[in-house]
A and B are shown apart, each in its own frame.
Chain A
Amino acid sequence: MKIKFLEEKIMNILMIISIILVISFLGSILWTVIKKGIPVLSWDMISKLPGGGFYIGKEGGILNAIVGSLYIVGGATLIGLLISIPVVFYINIYLKKTHFLAKFARLTYDVLFGIPSIVYGAFGFTIMVFLGLRTSLLAGIIVISLLIIPIFIRSMDEVTKQLPRELLEVSYSLGATRLETLKIVIRQIAPGIATATFLSIGRAIGDTAGVMFTAGFTDNIPTSLNQPAATLPLSIFFQLSSPSDDVQNKAYAAALLLTIIVLILSILGRLFLYKFSKNKIS
């Protein structure tokens, strides 16, 4: 009897310690970003295109990268959802759990999940060269989609697998087709979709290597899918490799901005999905 309370106490302490560890790790990263970013973050940074002096610490902002990142992440997330929801649904609802294709598909996405983005970048680049395409927004979106689809699928799949079977039975016995049952499944896994989406957005918006080879970089805002596009991580990457502290600080400003964008997306998305998930059965 005593042992179990002791165990409980110890585990409680361990949990608190890990929470503190996580918070302090993450806090120190955020702190680094915020401390270095706040002093240089200004309205000009957000609202202006870079001037040529920008790189050496003079004027201009990173509007190009903000817009480019949003384009790429938006496009890739859209494509990612359009492709991964059907796949998740197919391997969970249409196929039996033991079906060969379902097992094989899961394995495939696990492997795709682990492929480094530089390989996706290289792969995309090779194909572009092969097809004679130029670096462009479109190529960036496609490569980033490839990169995040496995994240989408695997994290949604994990949640969908937990779906109570009774739920499906009820829907079927009301005469719904499997496709119509999707509506219910989506409600139940909405938080899972949210998590998946943010993991993917996270990876998409922070990825450097995938876009460096395919979307290129530019100081302008792309006006068509065929033009290259700048991205925040690349802009951070370029600026961090500058000799001047001023410029490096701008990289932190960009990182802070990226953080803020992710925060806004996250809160909006969670609010939106909360609407769906509040009826989730537990």
Chain B
Amino acid sequence: TKNDDPNNNTNEIQISGAFALYPMVVKWAEEFKKENPEVRIDISGGGAGKGMTDVISGIVDLGMVSRELHKEEIKKGAYSITVAKDAVVATINENNPGLDHIKKIGLKKEVASKLWNNTISYWNQIDKSSKNNYPIRIYTRADACGAAETWAAWINKKQEDLEGIAVYGDPGVASAVQKDKFAIGFNNIAYVYDLKSQKPYKGLTILPIDINNNGIIDKDENFYDDLKMLLKAVSEKKYPSPPARNLYIITKGKPIKPIVVKFLKFVLSKGQKYTLENGYVALSEEDRKEELKKLN
């Protein structure tokens, strides 16, 4: 019956969903329209769940989702295509009194777990050398979002288990950390690095992750100097996933509407080259091929 749906033959695509993917899709849509001027694409935010619900109930063609899909959602017919990657990183204030040493030690998974559990409350509990017992102020996200979910997933939790002062939105957390010497928070890459200068925003520093858990940041664990390096590390999967994450576009069942398929193919081919400038990570070659297969 789907083929008879008159909706399938229009040149309109409606997209809604996660804010995390919103700017990227806007860019893709614009480039796609340059090639196909007759197309009309309407994109709105609203959150991953909104995109999901919209797609499942047929209100829009495509949904943007910034978290892993739930089983129920897949059961209801959600069909996901990975279109880009993203990563969440820990951020601290540039003027943290023990900055240099802390950056050398890095952040262990178990420490992170204790931090967002509210069981560590002073900096010298992480950094033994620090003389002053400055308080730690832990920030998390107020709004339910993929970034917090991903960060929680890294330490085997759910977003609701993260303790701390909950601030609304990515920029909210970033600016809270920017203003507070004793802060620690987490952010999407795009909110930490200035896309133009490729360096972290003034006031923000990334706290490296101690991936091999040896208590020191090794040379190959240190790839945070500029945006390009970090993205490369994510793309090469040196940076663990989570906190790196996949970003999905979903459809209801396998997409058949021609214009939608065309758009998705564009995203997975030419579209990938726009990821970097927007602070996203492109898919690796084999991932890309894998996803393209889903469309045929």
Contact = CB atoms under 8 A, between A and B. Distances in A.
- A and B touch in their complex, CB below 8 angstroms: yes
Given A52-B31, A129-B53, A238-B22, A212 B44 contact: yes
Interface stretch (B123-131, B169-177, B282-290): B169-177
A218 B42 contact: yes
Interface stretch (A91-99, A101-109, A130-138, A261-269): A130-138
Interface stretch (A24-32, A37-45, A242-250): A242-250
A168 to B, nearest CB: 49
A212 B50 CA distance: 10
B23 A51 contact: no
Contact of A244 (B50, B188, B195): B195
B27 interface: yes
Contacts of B192: 243
Contact of A135 (B16, B40, B195): B16
B43 A218 contact: yes
A228 interface: yes
Contacts of A80: none
A216 B42 contact: yes
Interface in B244-296: 277-279
A55 interface: yes
A246 B247 CA distance: 25
A132 B95 CA distance: 53
Interface in A226-277: 227-228, 234, 237-238, 240-244, 248
A233 B150 CA distance: 28
B43 A217 contact: yes
A207 to B, nearest CB: 14
Given A53-B30, A129-B59, A248-B171, A213 B14 contact: no
B170 A243 contact: yes
Interface string B174-194: 100000000000001011101
Contacts of A217: 16, 42-45
A55 B41 CA distance: 16
Interface residues of B, number: 39
Contacts of B79: none
A241 B59 contact: no
Nearest to A135: B59
Interface string B16-40: 1001001100111111000000001
A241 B170 contact: yes
B240 interface: no
Contacts of B194: 244
A216 B14 contact: yes
Contact of B278 (A56, A128, A132): A56
A227 B171 contact: no
Contact of A55 (B14, B27, B60): B27
A220 interface: yes
B58 A56 contact: no
Given A134-B59, A243-B171, A55 B42 contact: no
A240 B201 CA distance: 16
Nearest to A209: B46
Contacts of A50: 26
Contacts of A242: 23, 171
Contacts of A220: 40, 42
Contacts of B54: 135
Nearest to B40: A220
A240 B26 CA distance: 16
Chain A CB count within 10 A is highest, among B26, B170, B195, for B26
A128 B277 CA distance: 37
B195 A56 contact: yes
Nearest to A54: B26
Given A132-B58, A240-B171, A51 B45 contact: no
Contact of A213 (B50, B169, B277): B50
Contacts of B53: 129
A129 B42 CA distance: 18
Contacts of A55: 22-23, 26-27
Contacts of A228: 14, 42, 44
Given A55-B23, A135-B14, A212 B45 contact: yes
B30 A51 contact: yes
Contacts of B40: 220
A257 B26 CA distance: 23
Contact of A216 (B26, B27, B44): B44
B3 interface: no
A243 B59 contact: no
A106 to B, nearest CB: 35
A183 to B, nearest CB: 44
10 contacts: A53-B30, A55-B23, A56-B195, A56-B278, A135-B14, A216-B60, A228-B42, A234-B44, A243-B171, A243-B201
Interface of B: 14, 16, 19, 22-23, 26-31, 40-46, 50, 53-54, 57-60, 169-171, 174, 188, 190-192, 194-195, 201, 277-279
Nearest first, the 10 closest Cβ-Cβ pairs linking A and B are A52-B30, A217-B44, A218-B42, A216-B44, A243-B191, A55-B23, A52-B27, A129-B57, A228-B42, A243-B190
Given A51-B30, A238-B45, 18 more contacts: A52-B27, A54-B26, A128-B59, A133-B59, A134-B14, A134-B60, A135-B59, A212-B45, A213-B50, A216-B42, A216-B60, A217-B45, A218-B43, A240-B171, A241-B169, A242-B23, A243-B195, A248-B171
